[in-house]
Amino acid sequence: MPGAFLYDNVVQGATLASAEASVATLPLSNLQDAQPRRRTRLMGSTATVTADLGSNKSVDCAALISTTLGAGATVRARVGTEAALVEAAPIVDLDFLARDALPQMAAWTPARGGGGGTGEATYFDAAGNLQIAAAGEYRITHDPVTLERRGVLLEPGRGNGIRNPRFVGAVPGAPGTNATNMVTAATGGLSSQISGVGSENGIPYVDFRLTGTVASSGIFALSTEGPSTIAATSGQVWTGSFYWRVISGSGPNVWQINWQEYNSTLTSVADVNVAVAAPTTAALRTQRVVDARTLAGGTTAFVRNRVRIAFPAGTYDFTLRIGAPQLELGTFATMPMLPPAGTTGATTRAADTGALAIAVPSSFSMYSEAQHVQRLGANAGAVLHDIGVDDGSASNAFDIRLLDTATLSVDAAAVSGGSPIADFGNTNISIEGTIRQAAAYAANDMAYSANGAAIETDTSGVLPALTRFLISQGEAITYLRRLRLYDRRLTNAQLVALSGTGSSLVAAEVTGDTGIIAAEAEDANQGNVILTLAAPALGRFLRIDIDNPAAAYTDIGVLVAGALWRTERSIAYGIEEGRLMLDRRDRNSFTGAEFPVPAIFNPRYARFTLPVLSDAEVKTAHRALVRQLGAAGDGLVIPDIADGLAERNRRALWGALNEPGGNSGTIMTAFNINERSFLVTERV
């Protein structure tokens, strides 16, 4: 198989960049005039070097030398457009999953729900403990069961009608006789006794011991509120919720709770039985009972959080723990709202919102990634969540939204002077799924994509100057994961990629890719890694990705790339390969003693002849090699392009392809047959 030469190094003179500002000790510019021992150091176990070649260049080989690539290291070379290889840089970049973005929200208006830090806004921390948000704190919350980090919690405005969800001073008594404290009662042979009040994983609770033999049926009734509860009208939806678990003993196999509604004179107007899963001994935070009901009756009534648990016949002696009861108007339960300790009044939490004052660029793009886990439902057209930019009013704005239509959907819309100028079609989504939305604006050039769907465009409409980036929450629960604002209109392909994967990189615009390859770099061979593409690729950008898991940094001495001159015929069988011995061995002429002095490095060399060069090769590739390199420039020689990567790394040499003071020419030995001899010593 033929050999190959890389003599036109397109990295030389390129603009070089490295992601995450990972360069340390020496600049990337060192790689423009490559010298193996004049290194650039990239910190971390992963590193990326991107070369802007200035214009489209042909590349089918990239070579680097790194003597710090350890076990398991991999490299990858790609060629393509900027959109294919360079992640677009946002001017606002909040990632609530990968790192703690809350300090970056210090400039945002502290209008998150509640804001008082007194118990109305809560969240679960990484250990599954219920925490109370500080004043103005946006809530990074976690799944209480799996402990998965979920993002910034955004909830609607709500109120907890139960005036004592902390069970302060809880005492037993007759149902309905205590207006401020929880009361209990048991019937049918059961008796109940409060056996403890406390907090588990931050959730306030009360323990009840239930004992007795039930002949036919028994009822345990829990009321956490007197008559001053939530006032609602017929047709409104209220939701009751509480946490529970069994502490000791054995309860019934079949559980049934009973919610009751009363009018203002405490006359029952509804009595609803709901079958529920039996509580277990698992953590309190992992077991929440939630039930939503439409208010019965034709007049204003009071919802009273009176829970009755029905028991079949049997003998019982067990302790039940019930925590953080909540009663709220709305179709779903939100996070527990706990008033300050020692108080018994109802508490409210405002909707989570926020805004960042910023001079929005005249052309911009937005990206949002979120999970929506609850929503209003049955209220077509309501905006449940939006992210957008505006001028401080709703008259001039561009928003990406969650809509409560016949089916849950997302869309984007722009308004100028109070009149719509763009309204992109709705994209149906599923609850709980990850929703990615990307939108872009330039004058008379707007676009939108959701979850990688085909781009939608609108080419008519102009917005005035906008002054803020904002979050707004309606009747939904949203976990906001990522939020970005870009200072330019991304391409349509970038928007589709962004909404599909969360990255603006457009895979279709990669023109050449070596794939992820085991580095197989050996220090004895200068750490060569020679990456070749199947065919030349044309592109303006070259990206090298390095994953070096066993190292804290990666040193690069050489990074070169370009089009290979693949000789038409093989290098002659007479190739000579070995090392130039720079060691010394001095001998004392009187005593015969020897003093061996090893060299720092004995460079490899190759002496060979190209015996059959065509006239076309002499007039094109060879002529360009001699002219561009001279004797001062270096090139790469690969003795056999068909070698496997490990052997190619061992044999390939980076060094002078023309000798100083010598003639670098070809000899015509026959018609259309030329030859040239080389002696290449690697540069160290």
In this predicted structure, the answer to whether residue 180 has a pLDDT above a threshold of 50 is: no
Specify the DSSP class assigned to residue 682: B
> For 89-110, how does the pLDDT look when each residue is reduced to its tens digit (9 = 90+)?
999 999 999 876 777 788 888 6
> For 219-230, how does the pLDDT look when each residue is reduced to its tens digit (9 = 90+)?
887 765 544 456
| Angle value at C-alpha 599, between 594 and 600, nearest 5 degrees | 145
Please state, in angstroms and rounded to a whole number, the distance separating the CA atoms of residues 79 and 465. Answer: 38
* Same domain assignment for residues 336 and 401: no
> For 524-582, how does the pLDDT look when each residue is reduced to its tens digit (9 = 90+)?
888 899 999 989 999 999 999 999 998 888 989 899 999 999 999 878 778 999 999 99
Domain boundary among 524, 542, 565: 565
* Same domain assignment for residues 469 and 365: yes
The 3-class SS string of 185-240 reads EEECCCEEEEEEEEEECCEEEEEEEEEEEEEEEEEEEEECCCCCCEEECCCCEEEE
- In a domain, residue 65? The reply is yes
C-beta contacts of 37-43 below 8 A and 24+ residues apart: 37/557, 37/684, 38/557, 39/555, 39/556, 39/557, 40/555, 40/556, 41/553, 41/554, 41/555, 42/18, 42/546, 42/553, 42/554, 42/555, 42/556, 43/552, 43/553
Q: Which residues does residue 439 pair with via DSSP β-bridges, in sequence order? A: 366, 448
Domain of residue 590, residue span: 576-681
* Same domain assignment for residues 236 and 326: yes
* Same domain assignment for residues 176 and 254: yes
* Same domain assignment for residues 169 and 300: yes
**Would you say 421 and 441 are in contact if contact means Cβ atoms under 8 Å apart?**
no
* Same domain assignment for residues 322 and 401: no
- Of the chain, the end-to-end C-alpha distance in Å amounts to 28
CA distances from 433 to 139, 371, 374, 605, 661 (A): 20, 6, 11, 59, 70
Please state, in angstroms and rounded to a whole number, the distance separating the CA atoms of residues 336 and 123. Answer: 8
* Same domain assignment for residues 544 and 666: no
Q: Using alpha carbons, select from 457, 628, 536 the residue that is nearest to residue 13.
A: 628
> For 577-629, how does the pLDDT look when each residue is reduced to its tens digit (9 = 90+)?
999 999 999 999 999 999 999 998 899 999 999 999 999 999 999 999 999 99
pLDDT of residue 24: 64
Strands 74-80 and 528-547: antiparallel
Length of the chain: 684
Q: How many C-alpha atoms does 559 have within 13 Å on its Cβ side?
A: 30
> For 618-657, how does the pLDDT look when each residue is reduced to its tens digit (9 = 90+)?
999 999 999 999 999 999 999 999 898 889 999 999 999 9
477 φ, ψ (degrees, to nearest 5): -110, 125
- In a domain, residue 570? The reply is no
Q: State the DSSP string of 88-140.
A: PPPSEEEETTTS--GGGGTTS---SS--SSSSSSEEE-TTS-EEEPPTT---E
Please state, in angstroms and rounded to a whole number, the distance separating the CA atoms of residues 150 and 502. Answer: 16
In this predicted structure, the answer to whether residue 182 has a pLDDT above a threshold of 70 is: no
- In a domain, residue 557? The reply is yes
- In a domain, residue 571? The reply is no
Tokens 């439409």, located at residue: 294
Domain boundary among 348, 379, 407: 348
pLDDT of residue 172: 44
Q: What are the residues whose beta carbons fall under 8 Å from the beta carbon of 153, sequence distance 6 or more?
A: 123, 139, 140, 141, 335, 352, 477, 478, 479
pLDDT of residue 243: 94
In this predicted structure, the answer to whether residue 272 has a pLDDT above a threshold of 80 is: no
* Same domain assignment for residues 218 and 115: no
* Same domain assignment for residues 262 and 312: yes
Tokens 């989504």, located at residue: 429
> For 347-402, how does the pLDDT look when each residue is reduced to its tens digit (9 = 90+)?
789 999 999 999 999 999 999 999 988 887 666 568 888 999 999 999 999 999 98
pLDDT of residue 177: 41
- In a domain, residue 615? The reply is yes
Tokens 């973005």, located at residue: 101
% residues pLDDT > 70 (the chain): 89
Q: Band the pLDDT of 119: cuts 50, 70, 90.
A: confident
Q: Which is higher by pLDDT, 446 or 116?
A: 446
Report the C-alpha dihedral over residues 199, 200, 203, 204, rounded to 10 degrees.
-30
User: What would you report as the CA-atom Rg of the chain, rounded to the nearest whole angstrom?
Assistant: 36
pLDDT of residue 179: 38
Please state, in angstroms and rounded to a whole number, the distance separating the CA atoms of residues 276 and 252. Answer: 12
| Total domain count, the chain | 4
Q: Count CB-CB contacts under 10 A for residue 393.
A: 10
Q: Band the pLDDT of 131: cuts 50, 70, 90.
A: very high
> For 192-215, how does the pLDDT look when each residue is reduced to its tens digit (9 = 90+)?
888 888 899 999 998 888 899 988
* Burial annotation 228-246 (CB, 10 A radius, 16+ → b, else e): ebbebeeebbbbbbbbbbb
For residue 338, the domain's CATH number is 2.60.120.260
* Same domain assignment for residues 280 and 195: yes
* Same domain assignment for residues 142 and 271: no
> For 463-510, how does the pLDDT look when each residue is reduced to its tens digit (9 = 90+)?
999 999 999 998 999 999 999 999 999 999 999 999 999 999 999 999
- In a domain, residue 120? The reply is yes
Domain boundary among 458, 481, 504: 504
Q: State the DSSP string of 424-436.
A: PPPEE--TTSEEE
Q: Tell me whether residue 574 is exposed, middle or buried, using C-beta atoms within 10 angstroms of its C-beta: 0 to 12, 13 to 18, 19 or more.
A: exposed
For residue 473, the domain's CATH number is 2.60.120.200
pLDDT of residue 174: 39
- In a domain, residue 265? The reply is yes
Highest mean pLDDT range out of 253-267, 281-295, 444-458?
444-458
**Mean local confidence (pLDDT), 301-330:** 81
Q: Tell me whether residue 343 is exposed, middle or buried, using C-beta atoms within 10 angstroms of its C-beta: 0 to 12, 13 to 18, 19 or more.
A: middle
- In a domain, residue 658? The reply is yes
pLDDT of residue 342: 62
* Same domain assignment for residues 638 and 665: yes
> Token digits for 648?
């190619």
Q: Which residues does residue 542 pair with via DSSP β-bridges, in sequence order? A: 51, 79
The reported pTM is 0.84
In this predicted structure, the answer to whether residue 265 has a pLDDT above a threshold of 70 is: no
Q: Band the pLDDT of 176: cuts 50, 70, 90.
A: very low
Handedness of CA 173, 176, 177, 181 (dihedral sign): positive
Specify the DSSP class assigned to residue 574: T
% residues pLDDT > 90 (the chain): 55
Q: Which residues does residue 436 pair with via DSSP β-bridges, in sequence order? A: 369
| Angle value at C-alpha 597, between 593 and 598, nearest 5 degrees | 140
> For 406-462, how does the pLDDT look when each residue is reduced to its tens digit (9 = 90+)?
678 889 999 999 999 999 987 777 777 899 999 999 999 999 999 999 999 999 999
Instruction: For the chain, give the mean pLDDT.
Output: 87
pLDDT of residue 393: 92
3-state secondary structure of 495: helix
